[in-house]
Amino acid sequence: MIQIIAGPRGTGKTNELIKRANDALDVCKGSIVFLTDTSDYSLSVKTAIRFINVTEYGKLDERYLVGFINGLLASNSDVSRLYVDGLARMLKTSAEDMEELLIALDGISERSRVDMYISVTCDKPPKFMKKYL
């Protein structure tokens, strides 16, 4: 399952994602991972959540991110929730260009049985994104 929090810049998407991740600790049976491209929020995410700044691991593009997530989940089968903050910002792309990526992430989510929560900055979500909102 993928759920997207979409909206314009500055509307509280990151804070909402952090709140959801922190709140999930009370109900989630597996591990929780929070991916982002900055260390700015590392102190806001509770320490029981694995906080990863993906930019520390190399050049970031769609293929790299999919590989990174696959590797992360393959190495830890206990992950049950994955939070991805600022997907469009992270990949330096627009929401309109993410259809194939979301299809790939949806497949990973189904195969791994990991719920993914993703924030995306955009003024108006594209039609293909509606099923994830």
Q: Tell me if 43 is assigned to some domain.
A: yes
**120 belongs to a structural domain:** no
Q: Give the pLDDT confidence score for residue 133 in this predicted structure.
A: 92
Contacts of 72 (CB under 8 A, 6+ apart): 33, 52, 79, 82
Distance separating alpha carbons of residues 113 and 123, to the nearest angstrom: 30
Q: Check: CB of residue 87 under 8 Å from CB of residue 98.
A: yes
Whether residue 42 is contained in a domain is answered as yes
User: Is 124 a member of any domain?
Assistant: no
pTM for the model stands at 0.95
Give the per-residue pLDDT at 59: 80
What is the tens place of the pLDDT at every residue in 44-85? 999 999 999 999 988 889 999 999 999 999 999 999 999 999
> Could you tell me the residue range of the domain that residue 85 belongs to?
2-8+18-114
- Please tell me the total count of domains within the chain: 1
Top-confidence residue, 58 or 119: 119
CA torsion sign for 104, 105, 108, 110 is negative
Confirm whether 101 is domain-assigned.
yes
